[in-house]
Chains A and B, each alone.
Chain A
Amino acid sequence: GAVVSQHPSWVICKSGTSVKIECRSLDFQATTMFWYRQFPKQSLMLMATSNEGSKATYEQGVEKDKFLINHASLTLSTLTVTSAHPEDSSFYICSANSRRNSPLHFGNGTRLTVT
């Protein structure tokens, strides 16, 4: 079945540094990928829609200059948290589907801790 790989699975960084998270579709091409954030004991909230070859679409309230998304190929989207602060500590998870209206496949998520 379709698989989405996310890397790293966890990362600890110092305040003020940047962190890049990768989301890859391993056996299918994904023109669109989605990035979610999940705070402890809360639900998943969509941050942005990553579009291959064009700019990402951000949800209301998400800072596009802080959460940089690049979707340079049909199998890779990256989320860069720039100048990270402790309040950015969260679980970030990506998803993609292999074709329109097919079930979404989720990566395993990345736990980010900013100290």
Chain B
Amino acid sequence: AQTVTQSQPEMSVQEAETVTLSCTYDTSESDYYLFWYKQPPSRQMILVIRQEAYKQQNATENRFSVNFQKAAKSFSLKISDSQLGDAAMYFCAYTGQGAQKLVFGQGTRLTINP
């Protein structure tokens, strides 16, 4: 079975600085998708970024980028120029090719210090 591990329960960063959230996963599949979701206090799940495993290029969405290391099964999220609105729980998630159902990591609570 696939597993997703986030080893940092909590992280904090000064506003405007850069922070990296870690995620590792385990799978025997070759084709899959990885995601980072943000869950603010409203508990709405917000897609931050998505990476297809067959793509070597790391995904980027404005201030958010990933470091995808397929051989190491690592998928970290870098947030640049952190803003107060970035404070939330961040979940790393995995889904197999066409499987659609997500396996989530334990989550990392990110605090932004003004």
The chain A residues found within 8 Å of chain B, CB to CB, are 32, 34, 38, 42-46, 49, 91, 93, 95, 97, 100-101, 103-104, 106, 108-109, 111
Give the residues in chain B near A46, CB-CB below 8 Å: 101-103
Evaluate contact between A101 and B98: CB separation under 8 angstroms.
Answer: yes
Count how many pairs of residues, one from A and one from B, have CB atoms less than 8 Å apart in the complex: 48
Give the residues in chain A near B33, CB-CB below 8 Å: 101
Evaluate contact between B105 and A43: CB separation under 8 angstroms.
Answer: yes
Knowing that A91-B43, A111-B43 touch, tell me 9 more A-B residue pairs with CB under 8 angstroms. Answer: A43-B91, A44-B45, A44-B104, A46-B103, A49-B101, A93-B43, A100-B98, A108-B43, A109-B44
Evaluate contact between B45 and A43: CB separation under 8 angstroms.
Answer: no
The chain B residues found within 8 Å of chain A, CB to CB, are 33, 35, 42-45, 47, 50, 91, 95, 97-98, 100-107
Q: Is the interface of B mostly helix, strand, loop or mixed?
A: loop
Pick the contact of B50 from A38, A49, A103 — CB < 8 Å? A103
Pairs A–B under 8 Å by Cβ, sample size 10: A34-B102, A38-B43, A43-B105, A46-B103, A49-B101, A101-B98, A101-B100, A104-B47, A106-B44, A109-B43
Give the residues in chain B near A111, CB-CB below 8 Å: 43
Q: Which 10 A-B pairs have the closest CB atoms?
A: A106-B45, A43-B104, A44-B104, A43-B106, A43-B107, A109-B43, A34-B101, A46-B101, A103-B47, A108-B44
- In the bound assembly, the distance between CA atoms of A38 and B101 in angstroms comes to 15
Give the residues in chain B near A106, CB-CB below 8 Å: 44-45
Give the residues in chain A near B97, CB-CB below 8 Å: 101
CB nearest neighbor in A for B50: A103
Min distance, Cβ B63 to any Cβ of chain A, angstroms: 19
- In the bound assembly, the distance between CA atoms of A34 and B103 in angstroms comes to 12
Most buried by A among B43, B45, B50, B95: B45
